[in-house]
Structure 1
């Protein structure tokens, strides 16, 4: 495949743009079907005439079909889309970038999806699908999977198509006060439903005072029991946030936020706030896993995309000490710049 890409660049570079354009159209149809031409052009931020010419070709080739409701992708279209994804990755040099970031950040593996999830909703969906594919590799026997909350985690859960009824899914921490569908409890329940497995919930706030936390643990045997199960998780799948944004979302006081940022925190995961070098400078009080607990978990999968999160990803990767990163191209290239400029 690498030789094919090299040949295309040398003898027919004009065809590369066409291939990539048709790939993006097929991918958008897959995620938006059934969809009309006008709506598709708007989603792609492209001219309707350009889109019409390409979808007419894709229809003739048997990759999409039309109906009164709009365009849908055919089984052949799904197959060619999967094959094109590998071609696009090589075209963008993502395979070598994955190896570089894996080595420089001390990670077991890096998986990079083409595009920028900051600006493209299809890339955000691709990120969820890719993470689901990585997690699926480790299922198949009785295991406990802990998951954090967040929009990317929610997409990962909804993207799952595998069956693993022997899997138990638990939230990695208590619920964050945000949209219900993005809370760790909801992600755990949705993922368990997709797998046909079981789940248990942590019915408590994500950030409470030390005194309230102690009282909850002393008075609620179920919380204690679930917390013990979470602590014995075999696999952790978790998201990453920007320190300031997450501190505001978690309702930290202005004084604490100022202190956390002054101490150099740029990233947050599992309630821990980290500097670029991976030093944890602040932690919220809650039941569940922390970054320091990850050494005891056999498989850890971090999911985050978008160039805005690059520094946060580097910080959490350095603090977590290994695992797998699933990210997008925009974040990966921004991470590469940070590594080259700040990490020797």
Structure 2
């Protein structure tokens, strides 16, 4: 009997079972991300009353999945294994495979990989996306590969969630573009260095800010140190990046009011890889910096985009109209939002 059929029968006979599984799964997942943690704080994070949480914790403790310590609650080894085993069950219960296939067909892209939940409501979902992306990266890694990675909070999660890999050899990691204007921990240089450490790889850094005056760009490109990094970027086999809404990214990059007005006039929708796109996926402007060139994306073997947020649905969809041969990692609610778009 197919698993979907078993679930349908279960929901017909014991409809409350699915809700109970989801409740305990979310409890265990939140506990893992914030451990050690007290009951009151955990109840607040998952939107559960302390009384209900106390009852659930006692059950899970008696089953051997939670340890109570003086510093707070922690998952036991059995609890950690249960959490991993339950993820596939949740994926099937919520029909995420079908949802991912629908999104892949609508966007016409290479692959869609979904995580359960809504990143707008729960920061843990961004970590889950980072974990999912790190597993995809690891599955595609080969000896002698060159990897480019962009900056941003989600990319930082990819590096944080990456497991140490000592099996592949002669890996090089580089930042996809310059960009020194943001907080250190989400700059592409920082993320590239951390990812390289996890992969036992070499790395090169690109010490160039965004929005450089055009007359300085050519001189920078000829700088020997910068040129050596740009040469590596030209040869990357994998690029990992995000998609943002055009105006939010323009604001973050400190774009001039004149250029922001130009973006609005051209109905800018998305930003990716330092380029701005309208809702039809047509590039309309790019950031004055150095790094990956949009025209080079067709020669990159593995293109991985990680993006979520219902407010980014139009931006993610717009980018897919420009380029198709990539893997998208997003969350359940963003996928549903994209499917609503014309």
Do Structure 1 and Structure 2 share a fold, with TM-score over 0.5?
yes
Indicate the residue corresponding to 1:200 in structure 2: 204
Indicate the residue corresponding to 1:172 in structure 2: 176
Q: Does 1:328 align with 2:298?
A: no
Question: What is the RMSD computed on CA atoms of the aligned residues?
Answer: 1.3
Find runs of 4+ consecutive structure 1 residues off by over 4 angstroms. none
Indicate the residue corresponding to 2:60 in structure 1: 58
Indicate the residue corresponding to 2:128 in structure 1: 126
Three-state SS of the structure 2 residue aligned to 1:137 is helix
Three-state SS of the structure 2 residue aligned to 1:188 is helix
> How far off its partner does 1:165 sit?
4.9
- TM-score normalized with structure 1 length: 0.95
Moved more, 162-171 or 88-97: 162-171
Is there any run of 5+ residues in structure 1 with no aligned partner, and where? none
Distance 1:7 1:206 in 2: 56
Q: Does 1:292 align with 2:295?
A: yes
Alignment CA distance shift 1:154-1:260 (3 Å): same
The answer on whether the counterparts of 2:117 and 2:125 sit within 8 Å (CA) in structure 1 is: yes
Three-state SS of the structure 1 residue aligned to 2:140 is coil
The answer on whether the counterparts of 1:23 and 1:84 sit within 8 Å (CA) in structure 2 is: yes
1:248-277 deviation digits (Å, cap 9, x = unpaired): 111111121111122121110111111222
Distance 1:303 1:103 in 2: 18
> How far off its partner does 1:82 sit?
1.5
Indicate the residue corresponding to 1:212 in structure 2: 216
Indicate the residue corresponding to 2:73 in structure 1: 71
Distance 2:154 2:180 in 1: 14
> How far off its partner does 1:282 sit?
0.9
Indicate the residue corresponding to 2:188 in structure 1: 184
> How far off its partner does 1:176 sit?
4.3
Q: How does 1:12-51 map to 2 (within 5 A)?
A: 12-51=14-53
Q: How does 1:219-230 map to 2 (within 5 A)?
A: 220-230=223-233
> How far off its partner does 1:300 sit?
0.6
1:40-94 deviation digits (Å, cap 9, x = unpaired): 1111122111111111111111111111111111222122112211121222221
Distance 2:180 2:249 in 1: 10
Three-state SS of the structure 2 residue aligned to 1:300 is strand
Indicate the residue corresponding to 1:117 in structure 2: 119
1:184-215 deviation digits (Å, cap 9, x = unpaired): 00110111112221111011112212211011
Indicate the residue corresponding to 2:321 in structure 1: 318
Indicate the residue corresponding to 1:102 in structure 2: 104
The answer on whether the counterparts of 1:128 and 1:152 sit within 8 Å (CA) in structure 2 is: yes
Q: How does 1:134-283 map to 2 (within 5 A)?
A: 134-163=136-165, 164-218=168-222, 220-283=223-286
Distance 1:187 1:97 in 2: 31
> How far off its partner does 1:290 sit?
3.4
Number of equivalent positions: 338
1:308-340 deviation digits (Å, cap 9, x = unpaired): 1111111122223221000001111100001xx
